[in-house]
């Protein structure tokens, strides 16, 4: 089996528990929903559970129990023998946060403790890295272990993720299987709570609803037209499918890109949002703020060769199809996944 849904039904033993950290968040809750749809209710959800908006992501989800992230390792010490897999999705993801101590505590130190626990108890670990580790893309977007030490992330969030990847690659004590996923620009349902950090699709939807038009950053780069800046936008449903595929096929540990392998423009994204809303596109361009202009990425695109070589053969959702599903079936209905 290379990508069929049937391979997601069971990992090792269907009587064991699956742990999801960051479970009330965007990707964690989408993963919980997918596992529920496959009949997996033996889930242990870890998070801080202090955000009422985030908790809406867990409405109607089925799971065994919740544990606060601060006491999770106490829980794991007592229950590790029943844990099948850990999906460590929880992290501080605010790219505009510049207090490095926040990322040191929540992203780096916590993740190291998770790794050490999974190594000690021999539990497979799948964790969230980020495409933010690639910085301006000076060294390309290949998920090779050889270039990790050369990468230059643009913000403390990216630095924390890359620091953990580097630390992981230096470890001699390892879980029985591990994979770190460099998420590219993920969008989709259950990101209502993310505010300014939500995807451009969600911002576009609300801006179009309110004003009838969408504002995009003007290009300040001679090689890109206004609105021609490009990102690898990946639908959250594809993200969870790939996470579950790797959990079910524990072959080669390592770092893996998680994008579509096809960069698209912000103009494409905006036009797709207008189309899903049944409206004619009206786009205005504004200058990119000077304080972020020198760090603005004009192009990202995941190199997916390593993932395809691993055996993942599913076709990724096109931007137009993903935006259409997200807008019509979730945003327009204020619905959760």
Residues 6 or more apart whose CB falls under 8 angstroms from that of 215 comprise 207, 283, 284, 285, 286
Whole-number Å distance between alpha carbons of 155 and 307: 26
Distances (CA, A) of 336 to 119, 134, 155, 173, 225: 35, 31, 31, 39, 35
> Torsions phi, psi of 123, nearest 5?
-115, 130
H or E segment to which residue 20 belongs: strand 17-21
Residues 6 or more apart whose CB falls under 8 angstroms from that of 207 comprise 213, 214, 215
Distances (CA, A) of 163 to 170, 274, 294, 296, 300: 11, 39, 23, 21, 20
- At what angle are helices 236-248 and 26-37 packed, to 10 degrees? 60
Cβ-based neighbour number of residue 194 at 10 Å: 16
**Would residue 187 show up in a list of annotated catalytic residues for this protein?**
no
**Would residue 166 show up in a list of annotated catalytic residues for this protein?**
no
Distances (CA, A) of 15 to 9, 42, 178: 12, 8, 21
**Cross-sheet strand order for the sheet of 125-130:** 65-68, 43-47, 17-21, 83-88, 125-130, 178-183, 254-258
Of residues 56, 112, 194, 262, which has the active-site annotation? 194
Of residues 110, 127, 134, 157, which has the active-site annotation? 157
Residues classed as catalytic: 157, 194
């Amino acid at each position: 089996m290379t990508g069929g849904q049937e391979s997601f039904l069971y990992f090792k033993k269907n009587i064991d528990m699956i742990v999801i950290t960051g479970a009330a968040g965007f990707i964690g809750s989408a993963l919980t929903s997918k596992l529920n749809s496959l009949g997996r209710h033996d889930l242990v959800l870890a998070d801080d559970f202090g955000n009422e908006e985030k908790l809406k992501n867990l409405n109607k989800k089925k799971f065994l129990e919740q544990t606060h992230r601060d006491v999770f390792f106490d829980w794991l010490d007592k229950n590790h023998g029943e844990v099948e897999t850990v999906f460590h999705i929880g992290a501080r993801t605010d790219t505009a946060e510049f207090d490095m101590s926040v990322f040191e505590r929540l992203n780096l130190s916590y993740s190291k403790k998770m790794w050490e626990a999974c190594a000690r108890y021999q539990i497979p670990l799948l964790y969230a890295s980020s495409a933010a580790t690639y910085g301006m893309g000076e060294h390309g977007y290949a998920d090779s272990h050889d270039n990790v030490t050369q990468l230059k992330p643009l913000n403390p969030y990216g630095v924390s993720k890359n620091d953990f990847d580097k630390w992981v690659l230096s470890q001699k004590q390892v879980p029985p299987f591990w994979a770190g996923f460099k998420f590219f620009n993920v969008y989709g349902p259950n990101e209502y709570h993310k505010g300014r950090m939500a995807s451009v699709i969600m911002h576009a939807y609300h801006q179009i609803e309110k004003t009838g038009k969408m504002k995009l950053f003007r290009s300040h780069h001679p090689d890109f037209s206004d609105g021609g800046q490009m990102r690898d936008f990946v639908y959250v449903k594809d993200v969870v499918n790939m996470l579950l595929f790797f959990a079910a096929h524990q072959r080669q540990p390592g770092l893996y890109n998680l994008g579509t392998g096809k960069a698209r423009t912000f103009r494409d994204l905006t036009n797709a949002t207008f189309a899903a809303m049944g409206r004619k596109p009206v786009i205005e361009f504004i200058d990119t703020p000077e304080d972020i202009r020198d760090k603005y990425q004009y192009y990202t695109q995941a190199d997916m060769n390593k993932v395809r070589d691993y055996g993942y053969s599913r076709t990724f959702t096109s931007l137009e199809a993903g935006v259409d599903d997200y807008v019509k079936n979730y945003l327009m209905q204020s619905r959760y996944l």
